Each structure stands twice: as structure tokens, then as C-alpha cells.
């Protein structure tokens, strides 16, 4: 059985300011750095052998802190990037027009094929996230990888493993530096392949971040 741990990046300046990031970037806040150290302490005894991260700065920095705690190197994979949010990237949530807000809501309210102009659909996001996850099946026997990615990206991955369509209503909360785990297995009482063992655990954090999912 292959166990893969999943971590969302630490809190960023734009998370705290309620700005849309997508594939644009902003640095971790002091709180975000602290969260990354806390999740590193949580996982350092789990035998992590590989740390794989989105190539965006906020995930790369989170991964570096975790990898240092685990004694691993960081490998970057652009397929683990956040959803491309097109023309709304870098915009403040509280200053969107009604039409712009309708584009954003279509990503989370179950609208099939919803997308922000010049951005990705949830299906496109889920497809590349699954491709990145399945690559890990080629790691040597006994490997225990940890993936650092983003809220929408990890939510799409976990939800579709559970059998939901990629465009399904978004009901899985993955806070900054939350810890999840998916396993590739064969079981008499579970469907073969990827299953969800744990999702969104923040018991290692001393306080949740003030990101856009909490408000």
C-alpha cells in the first residue's frame, strides 16, 4: 500500500488580505511560516521519504520547511499548482462586481463547466492533479511521499477520489497547513485504487489561519 500525505501551503499575505491568488503568488506570513514548522514537526516521525511540491513560491517555501524537518529534498511539479483563476487573479474578494462574483461562485456551487474567463475548469484541475498523484506510484517500494499543494487543487483531488464529479459543490474545508492522506490499496471492503484515509486535520496547529475559507 502506498501512503501519500497531502499538505496545503501555509497562510500567505494574500490569504490574510482576502485576495485571489490562483497561480499568482504572495509570500507566507509569519503565521504561515509557523504553520509550516508545526506541520513539519507533525510529520517528521512518519518516515517521509519524498517531498513533492507545486512550483509556486508559497508551496515551495512550505515544502522546504517540511523537508528540512524530515531530512528530504524537495521536488517541484507544476501539475500541483493551484487552479488558474484567470482574469480574477490578484483581485480582492470584497471588490468583485456581481458578474465577476458569479464567475467565482461557479467554481464552488456545482456549476458544470464553470470557469473564470482565461482560467481553468475544475475538471481540468482535477485531471492534472490525478496525473501528478499517479506518478507517485512509480516510486520505489516502501516510499512515503508528502505533497504540498493548494486549497482548490487538493480539494478537487480528494473530492474526486471520493467519487464526486470535479464540478461538485465544494464542501471540503482544507485550511492552511492542514494534513490529509490518501492511500493506493487493494481491500476486500473498499474500492480498489486510491482511497481517502484522512482529510483536513489541523490538530498540529496552535490556531487556524485567517484565510478565505475561515471567514
Name 50's bridge partners: 145
Q: Is residue 82 marked as binding?
A: yes
pLDDT of 210 strictly over 60? no
Residues 174 and 187: their CA atoms lie apart, in Å, by 27
pLDDT of residue 163: 97
The helix (run of H) or strand (run of E) holding residue 179 is strand 179-187
Task: Collapse the DSSP code of 120 into the 3-class scheme (helix H, G, I; strand E, B; otherwise coil) and give the result.
Answer: coil
Contacts of 62 (CB under 8 A, 6+ apart): 7, 9, 10, 28, 32, 36, 39, 53, 148, 177
Q: Helix H segments across the chain?
A: 13-17, 30-43, 57-70, 98-105, 122-135, 151-161
Q: Which residues of 21-43 are buried (b: 16+ CB within 10 A; e: fewer)?
A: bbbbbbebbebbbbbbbbbbebb
Q: Is residue 134 marked as binding?
A: no
Q: Is residue 85 marked as binding?
A: yes
Cβ atoms of 51 and 67 closer than 8 Å: yes
In the predicted model, what is the mean pLDDT of the chain? 95
Q: Which residues are catalytic?
A: 9, 82
pLDDT, one tens digit per residue, over 116-132 is 999 999 999 999 999 99
Residues 6 and 153: their CA atoms lie apart, in Å, by 11
Name 74's bridge partners: 51
Residue carrying C-alpha cell 475561515:
214
Query: What does the pLDDT average to over 172-198?
Result: 96
pLDDT of residue 207: 64
Which cell numbers in the block locate residue 85?
Answer: 483563476
pLDDT of 175 strictly over 80? yes
Q: Is residue 22 marked as binding?
A: yes
Residues 215 and 213: their CA atoms lie apart, in Å, by 6
Cβ atoms of 183 and 1 closer than 8 Å: yes
pLDDT of 55 strictly over 90? yes
Residues 111 and 186: their CA atoms lie apart, in Å, by 33
pLDDT of 7 strictly over 90? yes
The interaxial angle of helices 122-135 and 151-161, nearest 10 deg, is 80
Q: Is residue 152 marked as binding?
A: yes
pLDDT of residue 215: 46
Q: Is residue 13 marked as binding?
A: yes
Amino acid at each position: 500500500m502506498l501512503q501519500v500525505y497531502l499538505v496545503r501551503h501555509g497562510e500567505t499575505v494574500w490569504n490574510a488580505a482576502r485576495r485571489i491568488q490562483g497561480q499568482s503568488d504572495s509570500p507566507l506570513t509569519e503565521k504561515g511560516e509557523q504553520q509550516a514548522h508545526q506541520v513539519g514537526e507533525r510529520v517528521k516521525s512518519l518516515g517521509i521519504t519524498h517531498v513533492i511540491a507545486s512550483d509556486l513560491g508559497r508551496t515551495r517555501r512550505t515544502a522546504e520547511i517540511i523537508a528540512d524537518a524530515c531530512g528530504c529534498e524537495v521536488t517541484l511539479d507544476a501539475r500541483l499548482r493551484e487552479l488558474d483563476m484567470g482574469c480574477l487573479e490578484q483581485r480582492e474578494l470584497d471588490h468583485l462586481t456581481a458578474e465577476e462574483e458569479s464567475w467565482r461562485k461557479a467554481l464552488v456551487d456545482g456549476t458544470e463547466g464553470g470557469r473564470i474567463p482565461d482560467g481553468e475548469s475544475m475538471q481540468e484541475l482535477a485531471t492534472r492533479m490525478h496525473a501528478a498523484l499517479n506518478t507517485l506510484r512509480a516510486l520505489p517500494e516502501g516510499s512515503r511521499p508528502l505533497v504540498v499543494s493548494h486549497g482548490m487543487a487538493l480539494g478537487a483531488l480528494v473530492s474526486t477520489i471520493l467519487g464526486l464529479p470535479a464540478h461538485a459543490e465544494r464542501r471540503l474545508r482544507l485550511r492552511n497547513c492542514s494534513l490529509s492522506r490518501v492511500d493506493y490499496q487493494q481491500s476486500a471492503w473498499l474500492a480498489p485504487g486510491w482511497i481517502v484515509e484522512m482529510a483536513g486535520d489541523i490538530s498540529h496547529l496552535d490556531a487556524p489561519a485567517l484565510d478565505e475559507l475561515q471567514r
